[in-house]
Structure 1
Amino acid sequence: MAAELPDYYFRVRENGAVVFRVDTENRQRRIDMDQIAVINIRNGEYKPHGDRILSIDDAAAIEEWMQARMALLALRDMDDIHRAVDYLNITTQWVQSKAGDDQLEDITDDLLLAMHDLRTVLVRKKADRMMRGDDD
């Protein structure tokens, strides 16, 4: 027995998704996907495709997907930052133990500027939190 398909399919794209209604209730038993909306995750909006009118179920499914997607992207952002911290440590170890003079000459200025920029922003943000009194 085949697994039941979902009612909606969300084709992820860079700024959101294209939403399709999945239909298997046809004579040929083929999977038909009918585009019903486009989602822009950056501004939290979605628009019906063409001159469609979205049902309450359509809107609810889209909004549920958007909430789940935003939560996933937030988790990925934090994971990326934790990986960046790890990578900075790995880079430090490479500079300490393996890097040659030519390699260091090639990356030092770019790395120092990036680290200075990051430090400046982090210090400013920390000071802002301390001024508001919400630093733990």
Structure 2
Amino acid sequence: MSSALPEYYFRVRDNGALVFRIDTGNRHRRIEMEQIAVVNVRNGEVKPQGGRALTPADRAEIDRWVAERRLLLEAREVDDILRTVDHLNQTAQWAQSRASAEELDLVGDALLLAMHDLRTVLVRKKADRLLKDE
């Protein structure tokens, strides 16, 4: 672990984070974390906590973190979809080579409905893009 701690800590939660200012310069040499804000990544809303006003440095660091977090979440979303494609391929192989009749009965309808729904959405979106390009 590095001896130099960052000035801010972001505790990630659904749709955002709690923002803490790190203080190590106290007389007890303890790490103190003071919550200064709550951030919503989706809409960019920043709510100061404890009746305080955020400094320009606070706001700049929060804005930087939000921008980085959005990029990370976008990359993860695409990666998750690509993993889903792999999983669908593995599921097809399982259904063809190893699944018992009972297992297929257990998951078959749910898979068929989910794949039908996905196919419908993908075809509609592709048709909309093609019509828009014309």
Under TM normalisation by the shorter chain, which class is it?
Answer: over 0.9
Number of residue equivalences: 133
Aligned residue in 1 for 2:97: 97
1:131 matched to 2:131 = yes
Structure 2 length normalisation: TM-score? 0.95
Gaps of 5+ in 1: none
Aligned residue in 2 for 1:6: 6
Matches within 5 A, 1:56-135: 56-133=56-133
What one-letter code is carried by the residue in structure 1 that aligns with 2:84?
Answer: A
Distance 1:103 1:9 in 2: 47
Runs of 4+ in 1 over 3 A off after TM superposition: none
Distance 1:117 1:63 in 2: 37
What one-letter code is carried by the residue in structure 2 that aligns with 1:71?
Answer: L
CA drift of 1:133 comes to: 1.4
Aligned residue in 2 for 1:34: 34
Gaps of 5+ in 2: none
Aligned residue in 1 for 2:18: 18
Distance 2:125 2:43 in 1: 24
Structure 1 length normalisation: TM-score? 0.94
Secondary structure at the aligned position of 2:35 is classed as: strand
Deviation track 1:35-67 (CA, whole Å, cap 9, x = no partner) reads 000011122211101311000000000000000
Aligned residue in 1 for 2:54: 54
CA drift of 1:3 comes to: 2.1
Distance 2:22 2:92 in 1: 51
CA drift of 1:70 comes to: 0.6
Secondary structure at the aligned position of 2:26 is classed as: coil
